[in-house]
Structure 1
Amino acid sequence: MIKRLRHAPLPLLILLLSYGFWVSPDFKEIAAGVALFLFGMLSLEKGFKAFTGGTLEQVLRASTNRLWKSIAFGITSTTLMQSSTLVSLVTISFVSAEMITLAAGIGVIMGANLGTTTGAWLIAGLGLRVDIAGYAMPALVVGVILLLQRSKILQGIGYVVLGVGFLFLGIHYMKEGFEAFQGAFDLSGYVIPGILGVLLYTGIGMLITVIMQSSHATLLVIITALATGQISYDSALALAIGANLGSAVTTAIGGMTANLGGKRLAIAHVLFNVMTATVAIAFIGQMAWAVDYLGALIGLAGDEYLLKLALFHTLFNLLGVILLAPFTGVLERALIRYVNPAPKSREKPLYLYPGALETPATAISALRKEVGHLYDNAHDLIAHGVSLRRSVIDSEQSLAEAVKNTRRIIPLDVDDLYEARIKSLHSDIVAFISEIQGRELSQQSVEQLYALQQASRDIVEAVKATKHLQKNLSRHGLSGNPLIRERYDTIRLQIAKVLREIRQLRSQDPETVTRLSLDALKLSVEKSGRSFTTDLNALIRSRHLSSSIATSMMNDENYAFEICANLIEASHALLLPPTRAEQSAEGQLALDEQDIARMAGGNSHPRTRTHTDENEKTAG
């Protein structure tokens, strides 16, 4: 939220505040109340972020796999955090990282709008009716004590308690300021009747929310001003509608920095709030009557304007949910179909953007997706490096036949493709990792981060090995000597099998992929390499191949082993379960390098990958 406030028109804000301080000393108290309220929200945000960790993704999926659950999640989270804007922006980051579906995100947004109304009820029903400052002081003391503890959990609780204290203190100062301000200036005398007045005050409410970046803070100003008679009840209704519209604007601004999924959700939020506001404005007279009728049913007196305002705020947000919820699926399909900006080039990041850093879970999820994107680029490059089309790898066609029937080696400038498709994207991944490392992370998050960082390096090393292999492959791959051709066909076939197997594993449900699946692939590569070496030694002894060409083949087989081994290692981070408990269970069944070497035959010494320096290695 602090970063978002930096984008506010700071010079204009300072100028307006300075003028207000100069015109009226009482305005200082109102401004201080708003500042304390906003600082309380920042503290709540920081406190709740301390509880995000590796289980967040599981909680989200369990809480958003049905529309009603998504709405309930939005209501609950907004009620706890007292910031629908924060919940909306975090939800955009979840959708952008593909942790939840677009439909689930729309449900959370609807719930967040309903959750905002709880703040209005608390302020109107409690904040302005009791000496709330008396509760604020103990909360501040307890919060500071908890902040001094070493435990991050206790510190997180401390920020939450401190946030509640500042919220209460802000409400107190706002109330005191408006009561003092009342005698100097009465805004209620400037009521504009009719639809023009409704539109004007709706615009004012929207502007205040955009400036303060918080619909809760705007509602606090509205309710406090109404309580002290500074504005009329009818004007307060229109201002409340504007506060809802303003929260959509701030969310839209944040959503524009997200990827395609985040942009779609930001548009859905704007559409929902505009639709809700349009209905509320068009039927404001009828809704005011409904508030009076329902208020009488629940025992509200005719002059209980504060609680009636809270009821109105709840009513028109609930009406919006009722109108949109049945068409959530239709809206999702429309957004997917029509909101399709020009696709980014494959060399540019698809998932890395500032909003993904909202929580460790979204950051690591976005990073995993981007490393997968890097793998996809490497997959295509390596497939072409062994003169096979991606369509062949991804099909059910016989790889052995495809390799055997190859009529030409695909001309490929691996250096240029590496610079364009791999190196630049890998640099963006490294930069994003450094951003994540600058934040507070759990041990599990640190381990996942390291695994993904290593996976991106493994992918890069696989591409570098392809460059070296491709030099000799272009020279000998279609040799007229059948013994040479067959050996290079064996190398190409082994790489193609690994590419296809990993592609198939990545297309499966992640819960069905186990470490043993990758161990089996690793064992196949080890066996193939040993068989290749044994066969080559026999050909040298029988003088069917010269030692010079055989040496080149051995080097090229080693490059092929590096390609396969690096891709398999990278797949561990992309495919295997991220939670520590699941990793531990998988690890008990996994084969180590010695096990694989023994099962492949021969001694127990496994082959090791060598990270090559492209400036030092030359083709055999």
Structure 2
Amino acid sequence: MSEIHYLPMSVGLFGGLALFLYGMEKMSLALKRAAGDKMRTILARLTSNRLAGVVTGAGVTAVIQSSSVTTVLVVGFISAGLMNLSQAVGVIMGANIGTTVTAQIIAFKVTKAALAMVAIGFFLEFLAKRDINKHYGSMLFGLGLIFLGMNMMSEAMSPLRTYQPFIELMTHMDNVLLSILVAALFTALVQSSSATTGIIIVLAGQGFISLESGIALAMGANIGTCITALLAAIGKSREALQAAAVHISFNVLGVALWLPLLALLSAISISISPNYPQLVGIDKLAAELPRQIANANTLFNLLNTILMVPFAGAFVWLARKLIPHRSASPSEKKAKAISPKYINESFIETPDIALDHAQLELGRVGRRVCNMLDLLPPLAMNYASSADKSTALTKLNQIESIEKEVDELHAAILAYLGRLRTAPLSDKQSNQQIKLISITDQMESAADLIVSGILPLAYKALNEGTTASPMMRRTLDAIQNRVQQAMLDCVNGIRRNDDALAHKVLSAKREINSQLNSVLAHQAERLAEQNPTRLRIFRYEMEWVEQLKRIYTLSKRIAKLQLRKRHLIVNDH
């Protein structure tokens, strides 16, 4: 028995593992950034068709190389109300198929090209001018680190081939249940089933484990990867927790289903994998086992999905039974009303999706500003009864409450957009981020203007019982309605990415200016009247019109920001 030098072996093993895990993270991040826009489009077009969901889940996961990330994205979409649980089931099932691509790549003997990949990827990442090429360079660099880490681990563990205590220890891995448990715990720790499968293939490449043990370890990795989705769902909606429950039940049931059929799965994988009859012993195992385990892993996930897709409804039913919906308390409803709905930390690593969701959240701010304008009673209205006057006061109080919600959402959106800066953004993403920050500020300014500029006038006129003439009443109402419509068009233009609505906001300038001129002309005639309250009414009316004009100016600025593609400095006086 040869002597084992533990320190060099440990350094090589853990150093290789660190490189392997870092390479996985770097490659996954680069792929997400390179494919973020396409991934967003694919997921946005997802239909309730289960097969379409499976294909989408498999495709997206094959691109970003992480079923955990795909499931976390799904949980985020559900908590944002953009996807329901029935749609999510297909995506979750498909994600398990997509994640097997990593094992297939690793199982091919391309580790000799590791240093070449690292070198080419490094120079491409640092010398490329276009962001997309930088992402591809980063992806290749990460892939090279994966193979380099595998080489280091393989070389570090090679002395163990003849070390009897280790050989005896590995014989315990023939215990299938123990193998599943070990792999599940390790995967939960590193939060990557692809990383676990890669290490399994390294062990197989050294001939340390049998085929059935390797398959059992891969099955355990499938269970362990559920922990990421579960962590992402904590604190989210009940439906998001149900999606995590679907993920767990699907993966656990799949393992339980194939456990008695492990020998059959092994036989099938042997029959479809290449064999090397010229080799014997450990060398034969090292050559054949990696491909056999990778193929068995793909078969296991593919057949699981095919068998269980028809029963997707049953998984939804089970999840809803395990985690039933409950009625929110009044305090929870209030908290929910002022908390962000669309923005989610899980989207930060995919800026295209994060920016889209920030824009949706911004739409919520805009709707509240429009609601504030809608609740605004006409200035100097002649109320027929005290009940009507009381209703008007209630609306003014509501406006103040909504303004607090606007402030909360404004702060949350700005903090979220700020966190996007922790990772590199492309020029396009950076411009979009700056644009959303500017629009958010303009929306919040409009809400402040309503509360600080218009509300005091409304309260004064209401408390003093001031009334305007019928003709002035009609003119003021026309201006107020037009400004309100411009803000509504502005908000809808942002929510729908509709440039036509932004142009409509800008084209309203002539009509609003004409209405303002009518107010001035009418005021000039009324000043000659011998009415002791006329001067006070004049001041109220002119200040009211001025504040409405300022709100329209903010609407124009927002519309211009929406239409401006690159240069985002606004000069609007």
Task: Give, as a single letter, the amino acid of the residue that structure 1 aligns with 2:468.
Answer: L
Residue 455 (structure 1) aligns with: 439
Equivalent pairs, count: 541
Cα distance per residue 1:391-411 (max 9 Å; x no partner): xxxxxxxxx9999x9544324
- The within-5 A match list for 1:18-57 is 25-51=8-34, 57=40
Q: Report the CA distance shift for 1:510/1:154 in structure 2 as closer, same or farther (over 3 A).
A: closer
**2:364 aligned with 1:373:** yes
Unaligned segments of structure 1, at least 5 residues? 1-20, 389-399, 584-591, 594-607, 610-620
Match of 1:285 among 260, 279, 292: 260
Letter in 2 for 1:181: L
C-alpha contact (below 8 Å) 1:477/1:485 kept by paired residues: no
Q: Give 3-state SS (helix, strand or coil) of 2:337's partner.
A: coil
Secondary structure of the 1:191 match is helix
Report 1:17-416 matches (<5 A): 25-51=8-34, 57-58=40-41, 60-61=43-44, 67-93=50-76, 105-124=88-107, 126-127=108-109, 132-149=110-127, 151=129, 152-184=131-163, 185-187=166-168, 190-191=171-172, 197-256=175-234, 260=237, 264-265=239-240, 267-293=242-268, 295-296=270-271, 304-326=288-310, 328=312, 338=324, 342-343=332-333, 344-386=335-377, 406-408=388-390, 409-411=392-394, 412-413=396-397
1:279-303 Cα offsets, whole Å, 9 max, x none, are 3224422253144246436776997
TM-score where L is the length of structure 1: 0.73
| Residue in 2 that maps onto 1:441 | 425
1:530 alignment partner, one of 517, 529, 546 = 517
3-state DSSP of counterpart to 2:393: coil
Check whether the contact 2:40–2:352 (CA below 8 A) recurs between aligned residues: yes
- For residues 58-80 of structure 1, what are the alpha-carbon distances to aligned partners after superposition, in whole Å with 9 as ceiling and x for unaligned? 45435778654543343344334
- Report the alpha carbon displacement of residue 136 of structure 1 after superposing the two structures with TM: 1.0
The SS at the match of 1:253 is: helix
User: Does the C-alpha gap of structure 1 residues 320 and 564 become closer, same or farther in structure 2, counting only changes over 3 Å?
Assistant: farther
Deviation at 1:192, TM superposition (A): 7.6
Equivalence for 1:554: 542
> 2:149, 2:384 → 1: CA distance?
72
Quote the Cα distance in structure 2 between the aligned partners of 1:198 and 1:523.
Answer: 78
Q: Which residue of 1 aligns with 2:281?
A: none
CA apart distance, 1:241:
1.4
Q: 1:331 to 1:447 in 2, by over 3 A?
A: farther
Say if 1:174 and 1:224, in contact at 8 Å, map to a contact too. yes
Secondary structure of the residue aligned to 1:422 is: helix
| 2: CA distance, partners of 1:541 / 1:22 | 105
Q: Is the 8 A contact 1:202 1:242 kept in 2?
A: yes
| 2:401 is the alignment partner of 1:417 | yes
Provide the C-alpha distance between the structure 2 equivalents of 1:550 and 1:295, rounded to a whole number of angstroms.
91
Distance in 2 separating the partners of 1:137 and 1:437: 31
Instruction: Name the CA distance, whole Å, in 1 between partners of 2:297 and 2:36.
Output: 34
CA contact (8 A) 2:466 2:537 kept: no
Q: Which amino acid aligns with 1:377?
A: R
Distance 1:352 1:382 in 2: 25
Q: 1:190 to 1:488 in 2, by over 3 A?
A: farther
Deviation at 1:243, TM superposition (A): 0.3
Render the CA deviation track for 1:499-553: whole Å, top value 9, x for unaligned.
4675588679937772344345555443433322222222224556733421221
Query: What secondary structure, in the 3-state scheme, does the structure 1 residue paired with 2:348 have?
Result: helix
Task: Give the C-alpha shift of residue 135 in structure 1.
Answer: 0.8
Q: For the Cα contact (< 8 Å) 2:126–2:134, is it kept in 1?
A: yes
The secondary structure found in structure 1 opposite 2:99 is: helix
- Kindly tell me: are residues 222 and 483 of structure 1, through their superposed partners in 2, closer, same or farther at Cα, counting changes over 3 Å? closer
Aligned to 1:510: 496
Q: 1:141 to 1:175 in 2, by over 3 A?
A: same
| Structure-2 change in CA distance of 1:36 and 1:62 (3 Å) | same
Letter in 2 for 1:122: I
- Greater shift, 468-477 or 358-367, is seen at 468-477
Q: State the alpha-carbon separation in 1 of the partners of residues 197 and 121 from structure 2.
A: 25
Change (3 A) 1:339 1:243: farther
Which of the residues 412, 420, 424 maps onto 1:428? 412
Given that 2:161 and 2:167 are in contact with CA atoms closer than 8 Å, whether structure 1 keeps it comes out as: yes
Corresponding residue SS for 1:148: helix
Assess if the C-alpha contact under 8 Å between 2:48 and 2:86 holds in 1.
no
Conservation of the 8 A alpha-carbon contact between 1:276 and 1:316 = no
Cα separation, 2, equivalents of 1:111 and 1:415: 47
The one-letter code matched in structure 2 to 1:135 is A
SS class of match (1:45): helix
Output the amino acid matched with 1:538. Answer: E
Compute the TM-score of the two structures, normalised by the length of structure 2: 0.79
Judge conservation of contact 2:78–2:239 (CA < 8 Å) in 1: no
Identical counterparts, % of pairs: 21
1:603 corresponds to which residue?
A: none
* Contact persistence 1:476–1:484 (CA under 8 A): no
CA distance 1:317–1:67, change in 2 (3 Å): same
| Matched residue SS, 2:343 | coil
Instruction: Write the distance in 1 (CA, Å) between the matches of 2:437 and 2:206.
Output: 58
The Cα offsets for residues 28-49 of structure 1, whole Å up to 9 and x where unpaired, read as 3332322221121122134334
Q: Encode CA deviations 1:357-412: one digit per residue, 9 max, x unaligned.
A: 11221221222122222223333444334379xxxxxxxxxxx9999x95443244
Aligned residues of 1:70 and 1:111 also touching (Cα < 8 A): yes
Question: Equivalent residue for 1:601?
Answer: none
For residues 327 and 383 of structure 1, what CA distance do their matches in structure 2 show? Answer: 48
Tell me the C-alpha RMSD between the 2 structures. 4.3
Provide the C-alpha distance between the structure 2 equivalents of 1:542 and 1:321, rounded to a whole number of angstroms: 83
One-letter code aligned to 1:136: A
Structure 1 residues 577 and 562, CA, compared in 2 at 3 Å: closer, same or farther? closer
User: Structure 1, residues 164-191: CA drift from partner, whole Å, max 9, x if none?
Assistant: 2111112222322333223221156643
Unpaired segments ≥5 residues, structure 2: 278-284
Alpha-carbon spacing, 1:511–1:138, altered in 2? closer, same or farther (3 Å): closer
